[in-house]
A and B are shown apart, each in its own frame.
Chain A
């Protein structure tokens, strides 16, 4: 039986069904982690699989198919976030409108919604690479090695990125913690 990638390259419909069955949840869950709502995550997932369909002929099996799909997912989500940020800029002043984005993850318990929203908005403030590393670690549960493969970075670079991400999150969330410690 021909390998999945070869069948995808020959635009075999059954192969695409197999691809979607295998990676749909992974792509959707990652997109939810980046985008925080089902509608945008669905759009991103569609975009990811269309990109795979269009670019599969360029895939040379240097990376695993799964890693390549993660990369595409991360790129599509970051692009979507950039578009969202641009939309959120005031048309009069060009300044960003600081309206916190919702984080409506279906796996979230109601009581945790407010905390999740705060954490998610802090995450959006991070540089792209720190946000990516943190999301893949905490929301997708990838190992440092796997994150390194997706981001084309060494394990030590990923560790450093995550260290900086945590340090920046600590600064961004300082108000939240002070508040919690006061009343908690």
Chain B
């Protein structure tokens, strides 16, 4: 007896008809597709542009202050604090935006 032929005949002999899904599956898939939101980037282009402006402004402020004033260390501390405050504000803005949409 040809065993290889047997294997094929066993599968053929199962008389499997196509498995047809319920109509419910169609509805489930469509409702899942509708609820899927496109993946949005955490930061958009304008977010990065805003961040660069903030960082740039702070660096400029630090550079001007250290160049013109007598106490650069204190100005540097102040600029760093402002920078940190801006970053926190910036994160707050971006998070609010993500929740809104």
Which residues of chain A have a CB within 8 Å of any CB of chain B? Answer: 11, 13, 16-17, 20-21, 24-25, 28-29, 32, 38, 41-42, 45-46, 49-50, 53-54, 105-109, 112, 115-116, 119, 138-139, 166-167, 169-170, 173-174, 177, 181
Check: B88 CB closer than 8 A to any chain A CB. Answer: no
Q: Are A108 and B16 within 8 A (Cβ)?
A: yes
A28 — which chain B residues lie within 8 A by C-beta? Answer: 19-21, 25
Known A-B contacts A24-B26, A54-B36; the reply to A166 vs B19 at CB < 8 A is no
Taking a contact as CB atoms closer than 8 A, the residue among A24, A106, A107 that contacts B25 in the complex is: A24
Give the A-B pair count, Cβ closer than 8 A: 94
Q: Are A105 and B30 within 8 A (Cβ)?
A: no
Q: Enumerate the 6 nearest inter-chain pairs by beta-carbon distance, A residue then B residue, closest first.
A: A107-B17, A28-B21, A32-B19, A107-B16, A138-B11, A29-B19
Write out, one digit per residue, whether chain B residues 28-44 have a CB within 8 A of any chain A CB (1) or not (0). Answer: 11101110101100000
Q: Are A170 and B29 within 8 A (Cβ)?
A: no
A-B contact pairs, 27 of them (CB 8 A): A17-B30, A20-B30, A24-B21, A24-B25, A24-B26, A24-B29, A25-B18, A25-B20, A25-B21, A28-B25, A38-B19, A41-B19, A41-B21, A42-B28, A45-B21, A45-B29, A46-B25, A46-B28, A49-B32, A49-B33, A50-B29, A53-B33, A53-B36, A106-B19, A116-B14, A119-B10, A173-B7
